[in-house]
């Protein structure tokens, strides 16, 4: 590993170790993240009490979507959570220091504030995915695909957050509500997209492609379509969203004005 | 000064706090738009799920569509209006030690925070009015109070539900005395509120186990009770019982919050100099 890569790893490890010093926070964070996921699952429970399936997806298949969403959310929070603080950094002029470092500013910025409650989301996601796979007995190769879709989902979600956070460079203010829209869209993708109106379906597959890392592969895996391209849509969407995120970040930095005194 | 003058002075201070907080909320206009959009998406998800279920099978549902969807829309509007930043505001003051100066002020800390929370509520209520207008366009009379009596009973129910949610948040925020991050506190209260308040579905649609738990918690009185009163689902003796329960929860939780704060402050240390 080159020294350059070591800098990122060392910065991440140092930030994680600092966070792990707060043991009560770790426990509270994990428990509450699990509680939040349980709140969503309780809604699914209510829904499935009133209907056996949603658009042909049964409860076990929907649990797979829930699991993938929670796991990607958790991974993004543990690795790249600092993006949520970008608006505050811009207002306070705190990006100045980062921009003087000999590093790629976006990745260094993202990596240096892991969030402890992420472990609760990762745990819930893993439990949901494994339970769903256990019940559904998918072919063996699915177990190989899962890590790929998980990584893709994490990167897609983070890239969308970076794009929405970059709006703060132009519309300066200490608010992160635009990122909550991205977050809520991720939550919407926990249900089969077929239940949504066409505009929302198109939004979640093309513009904010959260449907590519679990819904499209799920359709193939659970025998709802024979079109195999759904298995490979996530890597393509990842490359495109990462490219757009880089562009948005760089365009935003060109607008950045320090708050200096 | 007489007691009456003291009371008037206190109310004047609370009013000033309220006005300042409302002004601060209106300062960032793009954030307002984004927050309405974001809330719109989050409330649209359960509605779209229910829409699909009702389109697939209109018959045999426990509640007809013309009752369910106005309920969900009004519940969403209410929840948005109730989005108070109590955990963020008080939690930060506890963690930074600023609560020390708050406690020196000649005004009750809990009531001052309630005044600020009321300003959050009023501000959110203004934002949510256009969404309520759309609700009326779609559902017309189904989204209106059943009659004048329902509207009349809804007013105290609304105030009490707000106070209950504030009091619950005030209790949860005491955890800031032992945690560094505020996320867990907000998220824990939020998770319970989402699950048991009846925000995503009326309690009659809940599985029996979930409904039984919700009966023992205050959260159903923050959304399900006021919306049921508004829509006229609760009437007569049941209505008085519901309002009585809300009042008991509101008073009980406020007192519990005061007690917990007093206990926590006894062993609270602030770095000074």
Mean pLDDT lowest among A64-73, A88-97, A249-258, B181-190: B181-190
Residue range B80-112, pLDDT digits in tens: 888 877 877 887 777 777 887 887 887 888 888
Integer angstrom CA distances of residue A188 from A236, A238, B10, B41, B80? 21, 19, 46, 8, 18
Given this model, what pLDDT does residue A59 score?
93
Q: Tell me the pLDDT band of B176, cut-offs 50, 70 and 90.
A: confident
Cα separation, B44 vs B46, whole angstroms: 6
Q: Could B181 and A171 be called an inter-chain contact, meaning their C-beta atoms sit closer than 8 Å?
A: no
- Which position has the higher pLDDT, A99 or A159? A159
Q: Which two tokens stand for residue A24?
A: 């009560």
Q: Residues of A with CB below 8 A from B31's CB? A: 173, 175, 177
pLDDT 10s digits, B108-141: 888 888 888 888 888 888 878 877 887 788 777 7
State which H helix or E strand residue B150 sits in: helix B148-172
CA distance A32 to chain B (A): 5
**Residue B218 located in a structural domain:** yes
Q: What is the span of the domain harbouring residue B69?
A: 3-266
What mean pLDDT value characterizes chain B? 85
Q: So what's the pLDDT on residue A151?
A: 97
Question: Is the dihedral angle over the CA atoms B16, B20, B25, B29 positive or is it negative?
Answer: positive
pLDDT band at A1 (very low <50, low <70, confident <90, very high): low
Contact residues for B78 (Cβ-Cβ < 8 A; gap 6+): B158, B161, B223, B226, B227
- CA-closest candidate to residue A102, choices A6, A169, A4: A4
Identify which has the larger pLDDT, A183 or B130.
A183
Rounded to a whole number, what is the distance in Å from the CA of A196 to chain B's nearest CA? 6
Alpha carbons within 13 angstroms on the beta-carbon side of residue B70 total 23
Does the pLDDT of residue A248 top 90, yes or no?
Answer: yes
Residue reference for tokens 């543990």: A78
**What's the rounded mean pLDDT across residues B244-254?**
96
Q: What mean pLDDT is predicted for residues B212-224?
A: 94
Residue of B nearest to A40 (CA): B195
Contacts of B34 in chain A (CB under 8 A): 175, 177-178, 180-181
* B271 lies in some domain: no
Of B49, B52, B184, the CB nearest to A25: B184
Q: For all residues of chain A together, what is the average pLDDT? A: 89
User: Cα(B123)–Cα(B69) distance, rounded to whole angstroms?
Assistant: 25
CA neighbours within 13 Å on the CB side: how many for B151?
A: 6
What local confidence, expressed as pLDDT, does residue A16 receive?
Answer: 86
* Half-sphere exposure for A261 (CA within 13 Å, toward CB): 2
Asked if A36 and B191 come within 8 Å (Cβ–Cβ), the reply is yes
Residue with the bigger pLDDT between B48 and B266: it is B48
pLDDT above 70 as % of chain A: 96
Residue B273 has pLDDT above 70, yes or no: no
Q: Is the pLDDT of residue A47 over 60?
A: yes
Tell whether the model's pLDDT for residue A261 goes beyond 60.
Answer: no
Contacts of A184 in chain B (CB under 8 A): 38, 41-42, 45
Q: Which residue has the tokens 């992420």?
A: A118
pLDDT at B38: 81
Quick one: pLDDT at residue B203? Answer: 92
- Range in A158-162, A168-172, A237-241 with the lowest mean pLDDT: A168-172
Q: What is the pLDDT of residue A260?
A: 58
Q: What is the mean pLDDT of residues A210-229?
A: 90
Mean pLDDT of B16-24: 72
Q: How far is A118 from chain B (nearest CA, A)?
A: 11
Distance CA A43, CA B191 (A): 11
Identify the sign of the CA torsion B42, B48, B51, B57. negative
DSSP tally for chain B: helices H, then strands E: 11, 0
Please state, as a whole number, how many other Cβ atoms lie within 10 Å of the Cβ of residue B64.
Answer: 11
Predicted local confidence at residue B271, as pLDDT: 65
3-state secondary structure of B116: helix
Spans of all domains in chain A: 3-255
| Shortest Cα–Cα distance, A78 to chain B (Å) | 14
Q: How confident is the model at residue B168 (pLDDT cuts 50, 70, 90)?
A: very high
Residue B272 falls inside a structural domain: no
Question: How large is the ipTM?
Answer: 0.86
Q: What is the C-alpha to C-alpha distance for residues B78 and B113, in angstroms, rounded to an integer? A: 20
Answer for the pair B232, B249: CB distance below 8 angstroms, yes or no: no
**Nearest chain A residue (CA) to B184:** A29
Question: Using a CB cutoff of 8 Å and minimum separation of 24, what contacts does B103-107 make?
Answer: B103/B265, B107/B10, B107/B13, B107/B14
Q: In the structure encoding, which two tokens stand for residue A259, read together? A: 């708050």
Nearest CA to A194 out of B245, B74, B52 is that of B52
Q: How far is B204 from chain A (nearest CA, A)?
A: 10
pLDDT band at A15 (very low <50, low <70, confident <90, very high): confident
- Cβ neighbours, 10 Å, residue A130: 12
* pLDDT of res. B12: 81
Please give the pLDDT value at position B25: 65
Chain A residues within an 8 Å CB radius of B37: 177, 181
Nearest to A40 by CA among A98, A120, A136, A153: A120
Residue B84 lies in a domain: yes
Of A187, A206, A202, A241, the closest CA to residue A43 belongs to A187
- Kindly report the backbone phi and psi dihedral angles of residue A57, in degrees, each rounded to the nearest multiple of 5, phi listed first: -95, 125
Q: What is the mean pLDDT of residues A211-236?
A: 90
Count how many domains chain B has: 1
Cβ distance of A47 and B53 shorter than 8 Å: yes
CB contact under 8 A, B194 and A39: yes
Task: Tell which of A22, A31, A42 to mutate to test the B interface (max B CBs under 10 Å).
Answer: A42
Looking at the predicted structure, is the pLDDT value of residue A251 above 70? yes
């Amino acid at each position: 590993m080159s020294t350059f890569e070591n800098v990122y790893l060392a910065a991440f490890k140092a930030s994680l170790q600092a966070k792990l010093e707060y043991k009560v926070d770790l426990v509270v964070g994990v428990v509450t993240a699990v509680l939040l996921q349980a709140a969503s699952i309780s809604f699914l429970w209510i829904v499935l009490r009133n209907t056996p399936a949603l658009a042909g997806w049964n409860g076990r298949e929907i649990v797979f979507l829930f699991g993938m969403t929670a796991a990607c959310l958790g991974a993004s929070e543990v690795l790249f959570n600092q993006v949520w603080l970008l608006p505050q950094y811009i207002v306070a002029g705190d990006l100045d220091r980062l921009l003087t470092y000999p590093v790629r500013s976006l990745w260094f910025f993202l990596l240096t504030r892991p969030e402890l409650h992420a472990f609760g989301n990762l745990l819930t996601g893993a439990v949901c995915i494994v339970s769903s796979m256990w019940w559904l007995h998918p072919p063996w190769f699915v177990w190989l695909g899962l890590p790929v879709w998980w990584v893709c989902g994490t990167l897609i979600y983070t890239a969308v957050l970076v794009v929405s956070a970059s709006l703060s460079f132009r519309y300066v203010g200490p608010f992160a509500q635009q990122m909550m829209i991205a977050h809520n869209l991720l939550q919407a993708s926990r249900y089969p997209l077929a239940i949504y109106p066409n505009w929302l379906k198109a939004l979640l597959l093309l513009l904010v492609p959260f449907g590519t890392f679990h819904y499209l592969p799920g359709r193939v895996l659970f025998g709802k379509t024979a079109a195999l391209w759904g298995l490979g849509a996530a890597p393509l969407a990842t490359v495109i969203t990462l490219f757009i995120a880089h562009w948005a970040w760089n365009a935003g930095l060109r607008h950045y004005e320090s708050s200096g005194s | 000064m007489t007691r009456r003058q003291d009371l008037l002075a206190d109310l004047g201070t609370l009013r000033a706090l309220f006005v300042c907080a409302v002004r601060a909320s209106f300062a960032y206009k793009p954030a307002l738009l984004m927050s309405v959009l974001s809330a719109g998406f989050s409330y649209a998800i359960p509605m779209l799920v229910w829409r699909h279920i009702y389109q697939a099978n209109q018959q045999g549902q426990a509640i007809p569509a013309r009752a369910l969807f106005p309920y969900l829309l009004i519940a969403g509007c209410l929840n948005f209006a109730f989005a108070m930043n109590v955990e963020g505001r008080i939690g930060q003051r506890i963690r930074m030690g600023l609560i020390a100066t708050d406690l020196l002020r000649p005004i009750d800390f809990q009531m001052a925070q309630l005044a600020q929370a009321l300003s959050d509520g009023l501000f959110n209520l203004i934002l949510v009015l256009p969404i309520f207008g759309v609700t009326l366009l779609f559902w017309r009379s189904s989204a209106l109070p059943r009659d004048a009596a329902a509207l009349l009973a809804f007013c105290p129910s609304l105030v009490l539900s707000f106070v209950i949610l504030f009091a619950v948040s005030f209790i949860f925020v005491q955890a800031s005395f032992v945690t560094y991050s505020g996320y867990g506190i907000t998220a824990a209260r939020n998770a319970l509120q989402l699950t048991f308040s009846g925000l995503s579905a009326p309690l009659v649609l809940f599985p029996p186990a979930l409904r039984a738990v919700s009966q023992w918690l205050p959260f159903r009185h923050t959304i399900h009770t006021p919306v049921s009163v508004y829509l006229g689902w609760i009437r007569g003796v049941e209505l008085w019982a519901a309002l009585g329960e809300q009042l008991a929860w509101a008073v009980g939780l406020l007192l519990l919050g005061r007690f917990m704060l007093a206990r926590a402050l006894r062993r609270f240390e602030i770095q000074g100099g």
